[in-house]
Amino acid sequence: MSEFNPTILAFCCNWCSYAGADLAGVSRLQMPPNVHVIRVMCSAAVKPEYAFKALSEGIDGVLVLGCHIGDCHYLTGNHRTKKRFPVAQRILRDVGIDERRLRLDWVSAAEGEKFQQVITEFVSDIKKIGPNPLKEVKL
Amino acid sequence: MLMPRIGVFICHCGHNIASAVDVEKVAEFAKTLPDVVVAAHNMYSCSEEGLGAIRRSIEENKLDRVVVAACTPRTHEPLFRRNCERAGVNKYLFEFVNIREHVSWIHAKEPLAATEKAKMLVAMGVAKAALLQPQEETESGVIPVAVVIGGGIAGLSAASALVSQGIETHLIEKEPQLGGILKDIAVIGPEMVKTKEIIDGMVKEIGSSPKAHVHLSSRMTELTGFVGNFEITVTAADKCAEKIKAGTVIVATGGQEWSPQGEFGYGKMPGVITQLELERRLAKGEFPDSAVFIQCVGARVPGREYCSRFCCNASIKNAIRIMEARPEAQVSILHRDIMSYGTTAERAYHDAAEKGVRFMRYGLESLPKVDKLGDNLHVDVYDETLDDTIGMSTDVVVLAAPMVPIDNVKDLAMMLKVPVDKLGFFLEAHVKLRPVEFATEGIFICGTARWPSSVSECISQGLGAAAKASIPIRRGKVKIEPITAYSDPEKCIACGNCVQACPYQAIEIVTSKEGKRYAQVTEAKCKGCGNCVAACHNDAMQQKGFNTTQLSAMIDALIKNALEVVQ
Amino acid sequence: MKDKVVVVGGGIAGIQAALDLGDMGFEVHLVEKSPSIGGHMAQLDKTFPTNDCSLCILSPKMIMCADHENIKLHTYSEIDGVSGDFPHFKVKIREKARYIDISRCTGCGDCTVKCPVKVPSEYEEGLTNRKAIYLPFPQAVPRKVTIDAAHCRMITQKKCGVCKKVCQAGAIDYDQKDKVIDIDASALVIASGYDQMDVSLLPQFGFGIAKDVVTSLQFERILSASGPTGGHLVRPSDGTEPKTLAFIQCVGSRDAKCHVYCSSVCCMYATKESILAGEHAPNVKTSIFYMDMRAVGKNFQEFVQRAKKSYGVRYVQSRPAKLQPSKDGKGVLINYEKKGTGGDVAQEEFDMAVLCPALEPSKSASRLAESTGLKVDPDGFFATPDLKHPVDSTSKGIVVCGFASTPMDIPDAVTQASSAAARVAEMISGGGC
């Protein structure tokens, strides 16, 4: 059986984490190729339903990256994201999906290294958790 | 409905992308995606050559949507959008996929995986592009009138700058005359310039300009509308309310001196006065033979921790004035740090010391003591530098109390729908980079209503606010980037989640003609953050360019293509 | 036909003035002597009192400048001369040869990898090197490389030529010459900013003598995640994390023998750097040696209280007389007078010390004063003698904003930049919009 190569989705906010991801690129910081970024304007625009959809249809992990608390371009957005997150995790737990497949973190536009670190850690964590069992159901 | 015709252009970016990503394979893969009519690869898409190739392809293949897979959209998206427009494709029917910063540069040693990831990202971009809607940047008109609330030095400066640009300006002042706190102050520090020289000129300019309308003894009692289209109700003491339509508003409502009741005998001992009370005496030519200034009275103390910025310089200025009028005078300044920052103020500090003003540092743990001694006052202070208690008799004790917000600041804030901080000073959009603007577009802030400031700083801020306030008026219109939110009245259940989620108060619940309540977005106020979309549980709220169908399609595309590969 | 305005200086004040003037409908020529706009703010790790990441808030403004339909960037450029009077100034802008065809350069950076010449990096305050062909920092705007002619082997000795070989875009042009452009401008905005004084001129503070004495800008680079130490707080002598750290305020400022004036921002940035040091190295013990703690802005006093209470920063009201290396050339010994003791002198040892040097008008300011005929004040800052018009220089039609006129922090510089724009509009438009 070949090694498990997770497929991971990441939502990055335009002002901070997407720019941080860009900086990681500009700085040539290497990281595992499992994470696919969707750009949104604010982390608070990420509907929990997107995470539920992705995870229930076979994606192995979902990352939501926003600005550090206090730095949100839209003033209060990331506070919302922070509050919403434990609720989303509980819903995953309740339906039997490992809540560790959803992770929230803060990456500023200057934190290329943090982006690299978060990606590397998350991929490693998901590898340990194993493939999303719902993948089999779909196929 | 016509099927979309998508063109996909993969960029080599020299070998920046091509070294890790097999660009040709990605182009081949792109051809297999739904709705893709043509897929090509370019050496440098952003070059004149590359852009031209895209335009030619649009024409030849009758493309109506374009996907470019290259570097980061944060640099070149506007460039490619304009390129689409040149070729006749609506600039919002364009999607940018990042395969350089997000792929080739970070997976440089894994070309196979990098190529697969690039394919996935392109598939996601294509899925979104298929569902994009043409958008136009909407424009909202701007009424070419500005309103300045407050006729102190900051407001005067702003109004005078606006009328000099030829902009019709209404200046609203609650007192019967202009000038604010400077009415009582004859000399401005640390520059030592006569107030008359500054204020008179501005008042004259405003008074003589046909573009300026001054409303004395008047207050703003209501404000409605949004940038470009405000309606301000102004009520004068003896008249009915007047409605003014304006494009932009500047808040210059100032502050007031904190009254140090009970501090150091104020209110009980005559001779213990505030800085403003001293100013009034000095303006009348009543110079004392001795004075002890006590700094930080009611400031930098528990309960009011801030430093009021200009009090040290005001005391130094007044100490110099006293020494110049009465060279034999005994003047001391008791302080907990002298805040004479910068060039002019620091030189004034030196000047004062040279003239014989004594500076004594005291600590919060041992405050100076003020007692009556016959007709005079007696002050004892433990001087930290000398490690000794000094006693001195004096005619007056001047308490340098901080500037605090005006009494009705919260009412004002509610009327304007702008925030104040926990001290009651208005909160600007960004403390570093947007110091004279509110987050709410079209409303600006200057002077001591925002934070205690020197006269020179108030004038600068007034000018700065005028500059910002003039921009929408000069342009004549306000552009709204089409990433705004909109609601579907059919799906909306008027739960109000979106109203709460919006950081800009851009959403309200309205009632349709048929009596249905639903959320409505005021496009001019919407900043496109998408917070409301996530807060909506009924899928009623959407964001242009980031709607739920588009994002779901991107997720589907990843699932379909990635999981196929895993097989 | 739009009225033209030349903005001299591409730091935060120049950038803001350019953006406001561009938005107001003027054609702006933003002239910056370094290869990229951004100024000193681009070197900072974080900004007080919010500890916002500096480049995060600066970068979007830099990109807006580059992208603005009304703004033309002239980077690696200087003012050669200004003649005429308001509103018909003739401004000569010298675009120095970069030896790069910027219409072809994509900023990919391949050339910088292969260049064999190392030069101390200005952006990193000499803590590491750059190459003779270089991008000053990753987020540079414009994202184009520059060849530093003085250090390039091809330009000086006709040897090497590796960059041209590896450049796939064909952007290298060793024969490029300076280009002088004439602009008919209605007004000028001077935003030439500041430079830290050369603290080696004050040997009593140990810079260049004790290895572990650094300047505050060097410290910013050490704190930066993208800087020479990857954001690890380490001292130069042996690369270890300091357990004790000292900040020395007013090095050259408020000094009768050097600069009489106060540089305004150092009390706050030292507080900021001490907080950041505490975040990078939670066990570090920091002391700030100061004269007056000038925390006068919004939330500034709370920031200082935070440093004291949450990070244990010790504020010592005293002016150190001497800094010298401690044993083995590592660490720093600081001599200072203890307040209120009538002259008792103490000596304390610290692992590392940071000097807060006087901030002088930019090195280019005196040349600019000559070209423009503007008067400077006794401290070398551009004089703005009329309080009614605080951004007006001594020549009609030329305004000054930001640190070029007097020491000030970022919000004040941004405010003044907008004021400068208003003043220009007032002067040019007169009556009618």
Question: Model confidence at B44, in pLDDT bands (50, 70, 90)?
Answer: confident
For chain A, give the number of residues: 139
Q: B40: domain CATH number?
A: 3.40.50
Helices (H), C312-409: 365-372
Distance CA B463, CA B31 (A): 57
Considering chain A, what is the average pLDDT of its residues? 90
Residue C237 reports pLDDT greater than 70:
yes
CB contact under 8 A, C388 and B197: yes
Q: Report CA-CA distances (Å) from A56 to A3, A63, B560.
A: 22, 15, 13
Which of C247, C284, C344, C279 has its CA nearest to residue C45? C279
* pLDDT tens-digit series, residues C81-120: 999 999 999 999 999 999 999 988 988 888 999 999 999 9
Give the pLDDT score at A137.
Answer: 55
- Domain A8-138 belongs in CATH node 1.10.10: no
> Is A50 in contact with A137 (CB distance < 8 Å)?
no
Q: Which residues of C touch B463 (CB under 8 A)?
A: 390-391, 418-419, 422-423
Q: Which residues of A touch C54 (CB under 8 A)?
A: 110
Q: Which of A112-121, C33-42, C136-145 has the lowest mean pLDDT?
A: C136-145
CATH superfamily assigned to domain C198-358: FAD/NAD(P)-binding domain (3.50.50.60)
Q: Report CA-CA distances (Å) from B226 to B129, B170, B519.
A: 33, 17, 18
Q: Which of A16-30, B160-174, C12-26, C399-413 has the lowest mean pLDDT?
A: A16-30
Chain C: nearest CA to A67, how far in angstroms?
Answer: 10
Considering chain C, what is the average pLDDT of its residues? 94
For chain C, give the number of residues: 433
Mean pLDDT, to the nearest integer, of B12-21?
A: 83
Whether the CB of A41 is below 8 Å from some CB of chain B: the reply is yes
Residue B46 reports pLDDT greater than 80:
no
Give the pLDDT score at C340.
Answer: 78
Residue C166 has a CB neighbour count (10 Å cut-off) of 15
Q: Give the nearest partner residue to B554 out of A32, A38, A139, using CB atoms.
A: A38
End-to-end CA distance of chain A: 17
**Closest chain A residue to the Cα of C224, Cα to Cα:** A110
Give the pLDDT score at C230.
Answer: 85
Q: How many domains does chain B have?
A: 4
**Closest chain C residue to the Cα of B466, Cα to Cα:** C422
**Closest chain C residue to the Cα of B342, Cα to Cα:** C262
Distance CA C421, CA C189 (A): 8
Q: Which of residues 88-117 of B touch A (CB under 8 A)?
A: 98, 100-103, 105-110, 113-114, 116-117
Q: Are residues B439 and B515 both part of a single domain?
A: no
Enter the pTM of the model: 0.82
- The burial of C326, by beta-carbon neighbours within 10 Å (0-12 exposed, 13-18 middle, 19 or more buried), is given as middle
Chain C: nearest CA to A19, how far in angstroms?
Answer: 8
Chain A: nearest CA to C62, how far in angstroms?
Answer: 14
Please indicate whether the domains covering C4-96+178-193+362-429 and C198-358 agree at the CATH topology level.
yes
Establish, for the pair of chains B and C, how many residue pairs have beta carbons separated by less than 8 Å: 198
**How far, rounded to the nearest angstrom, does the alpha carbon of residue A81 sit from its chain's CA centroid?**
12
For chain A, the domains span 8-138
Mean pLDDT comparison of A34-38, B16-20, B197-201, C66-70, highest-scoring range: A34-38
Percent of chain C with pLDDT over 90: 85
Distance CA A35, CA C283 (A): 36
Q: Are residues B298 and B217 both part of a single domain?
A: no
Considering chain B, what is the average pLDDT of its residues? 93
Whether the CB of A57 is below 8 Å from some CB of chain B: the reply is yes
A74 vs B461, higher pLDDT: B461
* Strand duo B403-405 + B255-257: pairing: antiparallel
Distance CA C363, CA B565 (A): 60
Q: Which residues of C touch B386 (CB under 8 A)?
A: 340, 342
Give the pLDDT score at C431.
Answer: 38
**Neighbors of chain B by Cβ distance (3+ pairs < 8 Å):** A, C
Residue C407 reports pLDDT greater than 90:
yes
CB contact under 8 A, A16 and C50: no
Please report the ipTM that was assigned to this predicted complex.
0.96
Mean pLDDT, to the nearest integer, of B311-316?
A: 98
Distance CA B421, CA B466 (A): 23
Q: Which residues of B touch C411 (CB under 8 A)?
A: 431-433, 435
CB contact under 8 A, B503 and A74: yes
Residue C32 reports pLDDT greater than 50:
yes
For chain C, the domains span 4-96+178-193+362-429, 110-166, 198-358
List Cβ neighbours of C251 (8 Å cut-off, separation of 6 or more): C197, C199, C202, C205, C355, C356, C357, C358
* Cα dihedral B230, B236, B240, B243 in deg (nearest 10): -10
CB contact under 8 A, C168 and B15: yes
CB contact under 8 A, C412 and B467: no
Q: Are residues B215 and B299 both part of a single domain?
A: no
The structure tokens 């005028």 sit at B466
* pLDDT tens-digit series, residues B119-149: 999 999 999 999 999 999 888 899 999 999 9
Residue B356 reports pLDDT greater than 70:
yes
> Is B336 in contact with B295 (CB distance < 8 Å)?
yes
**B245 is a domain residue:** yes
Distance CA B406, CA B450 (A): 11
Question: Model confidence at B564, in pLDDT bands (50, 70, 90)?
Answer: low
Establish, for the pair of chains A and B, how many residue pairs have beta carbons separated by less than 8 Å: 134
Q: B186: domain CATH number?
A: 3.50.50.60
- The burial of B512, by beta-carbon neighbours within 10 Å (0-12 exposed, 13-18 middle, 19 or more buried), is given as exposed
Chain A: nearest CA to B374, how far in angstroms?
Answer: 57
Residue B214 reports pLDDT greater than 80:
yes
* pLDDT tens-digit series, residues B91-107: 999 999 999 999 999 99
Give the pLDDT score at A138.
Answer: 47
> Is B466 in contact with B475 (CB distance < 8 Å)?
no
The identity of residue C275, as a single letter, is I
Distance CA C186, CA B361 (A): 51
For chain B, give the number of residues: 567
Q: Are residues B284 and B397 both part of a single domain?
A: yes
The structure tokens 């897929």 sit at B39
Three-state DSSP state, A22: helix
Mean pLDDT, to the nearest integer, of B518-544?
A: 93
Q: Are residues B373 and B422 both part of a single domain?
A: no
Give the pLDDT score at A27.
Answer: 74
Q: Are residues B468 and B532 both part of a single domain?
A: no
The identity of residue B82, as a single letter, is R
Question: Model confidence at C318, in pLDDT bands (50, 70, 90)?
Answer: very high
Structure tokens at B10: 């993969």
Q: Are residues B394 and B412 both part of a single domain?
A: no
* pLDDT tens-digit series, residues C188-213: 999 999 999 999 999 999 999 999 99
The identity of residue C337, as a single letter, is E
Mean pLDDT, to the nearest integer, of B347-353?
A: 97
Domain with B296 in it: 260-401
**B338 is a domain residue:** yes
Sheet holding B65-70, edge to edge: B36-42, B6-11, B65-70, B94-98
Q: Are residues B507 and B466 both part of a single domain?
A: no
Q: Give the nearest partner residue to B338 out of C292, C387, C411, using CB atoms.
A: C292
Q: Which residues of A touch B432 (CB under 8 A)?
A: none
Question: Model confidence at B527, in pLDDT bands (50, 70, 90)?
Answer: confident
Distance CA B471, CA C204 (A): 51
Which of C121, C113, C187 has its CA nearest to residue C148? C121
Give the pLDDT score at C432.
Answer: 28
Q: Which residues of B touch A116 (CB under 8 A)?
A: 106
Final residue of a structural domain among B444, B477, B510: B477
Three-state DSSP state, B387: coil
**Closest chain B residue to the Cα of C139, Cα to Cα:** B75
Mean pLDDT, to the nearest integer, of B545-555?
A: 96
Percent of chain C with pLDDT over 70: 99
* pLDDT tens-digit series, residues B440-484: 789 999 999 999 999 999 999 999 999 999 999 999 998 777 999
Three-state DSSP state, C251: strand
Query: Which of A67, A72, A74, A76 should be substituted to probe chain B, the one whose Cβ sees the most B Cβ atoms within 10 Å?
Result: A74
With b for 16 or more beta-carbon neighbours within 10 A and e for fewer, the A17-50 pattern comes to bbbbbbbbbbbebebbbbbbbbbbbbbbbbbbeb
**B214 is a domain residue:** yes
Give the pLDDT score at A15.
Answer: 79
* pLDDT tens-digit series, residues B262-286: 999 999 999 999 999 999 999 999 9
Chain A: nearest CA to C53, how far in angstroms?
Answer: 7
Give the pLDDT score at B481.
Answer: 78
DSSP string, B408-465: THHHHHHHHT--B-TTSPBPPSBTTTBTTB-SSTTEEE-GGGTS---HHHHHHHHHHH
Give the pLDDT score at B566.
Answer: 47
Which of A111, A116, A101, A103 has its CA nearest to residue A65? A103
Give the pLDDT score at C132.
Answer: 96
> Is C85 in contact with C91 (CB distance < 8 Å)?
no
Q: Which CATH number fits domain C4-96+178-193+362-429: 3.50.50.60, 3.20.20.70, 3.40.50.720, 1.10.150.20?
A: 3.50.50.60
Establish, for the pair of chains A and C, how many residue pairs have beta carbons separated by less than 8 Å: 37
**Strand extents, DSSP E, B351-411:** 358-361, 369-373, 376-383, 388-394, 396-399, 403-405
